[in-house]
Amino acid sequence: MRNFADCLVRKIDEMQNPSVIGLDPKLDYIPQHLKEYAEQLFPEEPTKATAKAIWLFNKEIIDQTCDIVPAVKLQYAYYEMYGVDSIKTMLLTARYAQRKGMLVIGDCKRNDIGSTATAYAEAVIGKTDLLLGDSMAMSGFDACTVNCYLGIDGVKPFIDVAKRDGKGVFCLVRTSNPSAGDFQDLELSDGRKLYEAVASKVSEWGEEMIGEEGFSSVGAVVGATWPEQAVQLRKEMPNAFILVPGYGAQGAGADAAVAGFTPNGKGGIVNASRSIMTAWQARPDFFKPEDFGKAARYEAENMKDKLNEAILHRKYVIQ
């Protein structure tokens, strides 16, 4: 039986790279020549032209990085805002990345209960029963993100689908945004912070999905901007695989990003989005717009080196 966490750990080990590329495209990130080409193909259909430009952009970055980066993360919002055609591009991107050997995380942060949560889970990581006796994976992501504010009622449907189909679930525990503490730092009657209580539940929920590599397919999202808390949370969630946002453009460096990794440097994967996609803009003296894919690879390799160096010389250590 496939276990998502095992697949992810082995892919990271194979490439010696604990990073994931967030393909969260905006038109500002896409070189002009791609946008002009897409406009020529669809001169009277702006949503189709936009979707085409995004697809060409995503495809090139995947082609340039699939042999050195184990996974991509697709944030729904950046596709939904451009309409139905770009949502189709998101799904096309996911399937293309998988064909290239990459794991794909659907960053949808779903949150609901009962049959609605089940419908979300089947849509994102499961499959849907159709007419004519057919059943089909509509999104086909290998894992997804969920907001567990509603408790187990909002998470169990995702866990059930993940267990059945060998997929993964990342629960929001300690997010990287500045106002995270408004709620997550609230102190409970037992003295714990709210995020610590959430972490304890995530660890409990994932006990039955721990794979051969020692990590659960019920993982956690812990932002790189809170390294001290990440160290503490690793104690609370010894078997959780941690997805780490906040690296690069959001301000966190490699040392902070790996703070929640286990003492042997495993159990986490660090996301970078903007810094990879706009690497060609950051170095105009070195990369032409046509070289945006090569620039993305350059930045991905740079990130890999920094993360591995940070793992080797840990600044934040679990006591």
Q: What angle do CA 22, 27, 30 make, to 5 degrees?
A: 75
Other C-beta atoms closer than 10 Å to the C-beta of 250 total: 18
How far, rounded to the nearest angstrom, does the alpha carbon of residue 187 sit from its chain's CA centroid?
Answer: 29
Alpha-carbon span 181 to 25, nearest angstrom? 28
Q: Are strands 216-222 and 135-136 parallel, antiparallel or unpaired?
A: unpaired
Asked if 229 contacts 236 with a C-beta cutoff of 8 angstroms, the reply is: no
- Which of 109, 156, 201, 294 is labelled catalytic? 109
> Does the active-site annotation cover 109?
yes
By the 8 A CB rule, do 154 and 147 touch?
Answer: yes
What SS3 state is found at 312?
A: helix
C-alpha to C-alpha distance for 307 and 312, rounded to whole angstroms: 9
Residue positions annotated with a catalytic role: 109
